[in-house]
Amino acid sequence: MLAEGPMGAGKSTLLLEWSIRLLEANTGEAVVWRGDETRSEWTPLAPWARVCLPASCRGGVTAKVVSTDEEDAYRREVDLEEVVREVVFYDDVADLWERCVEPGKFHVVYPDLEMRGCQEAYERSSSHYEELEFSPDDPVRHWWVGAYLRRQEFGPYSFTSWICDEIGDIASQDASKDAFATYQKVELLQDIVVDARKFNLSLYLAGQNPEDIHDKVRRKVRWRITMNGRANPTRGSQVVGF
């Protein structure tokens, strides 16, 4: 599904609640939340979170804890392991899926800036686009395409749900055939979305403006949720792929 609504409409709250229900209802489901260094919406579930980080972070990871209480306002740094259930480090995208993502757990996965394993997965895959390469120079959002390509091509295929807020960051409507092959990677993501169900992958996406999300992805998402603060669409032209 794709949930869309303005800032503050409750998209993150919906995704958190949905993550809980997935784990409650589906035995053996692995929930993977898209981690981003600028976002912290997942932290209400921190005590249950298995946080997956690239091996380059192994030297030490801290979390900023902030209190907005007027009488006791503070900001301090603590070891991440003090606020989450567990922290694991993956060597590359193959190691992430084969060892770090486990059934029955809530995972917060942060991407690898070095893109380790993404190019190898692409070269071994059945998908090929002209001049497509995953490299450390790529925008970090491209890692998600390489990561899910690796899972789709080589498994493991246990039931997995991807919780992705601001999907437009990864599949932007204005994607172009630039030096990083951004448009081709959006096409590759479209292929992944098309075949997701047959490989036991469910996608739960959210964004502020559907028009910012590339229509190659929007056309493949079957269900829509219009959040509070925005009127339901009344014309077919307002909803691509509905």
**107 neighbors 97 (Cβ within 8 angstroms):** no
Of 75-84, 159-168, 220-229, which one has max mean pLDDT?
159-168
172 has a pLDDT exceeding 70: yes
Q: Count Cβ atoms within 10 A of the Cβ of residue 21 and give its class: 0-12 exposed, 13-18 middle, 19 or more buried.
A: exposed
Percentage of residues of the chain with pLDDT beyond 70:
98
Residue 42 is which amino acid? W
234 has a pLDDT exceeding 90: no
Residue 242: pLDDT band with limits 50, 70, 90 = low
Least confident of 10-14, 73-77, 155-159: 73-77
Strand 106-109 to 30-34 pairing: parallel
237 has a pLDDT exceeding 90: no
Q: Which strand (E) or helix (H) includes residue 236?
A: none
Q: State the Cα–Cα distance between residues 107 and 33, nearest whole angstrom.
A: 6
**213 neighbors 190 (Cβ within 8 angstroms):** no
DSSP 8-state assignment for residue 232: P
DSSP 8-state assignment for residue 180: T
Residue 167: pLDDT band with limits 50, 70, 90 = very high
Instruction: Give the residue from 33, 37, 1 showing the smallest Cα distance to 19.
Output: 33
Residue 122 is which amino acid? Y
> What are 46-81's pLDDT values in tens digits?
999 999 999 988 767 777 777 777 777 777 888 888
pLDDT at 182: 93
229 has a pLDDT exceeding 90: no
First to last CA, the chain: 10
> What are 105-155's pLDDT values in tens digits?
999 999 999 999 999 999 999 887 777 899 999 999 999 999 999 999 999
Q: State the Cα–Cα distance between residues 156 and 32, nearest whole angstrom.
A: 14
Structure tokens at 150: 């690796």
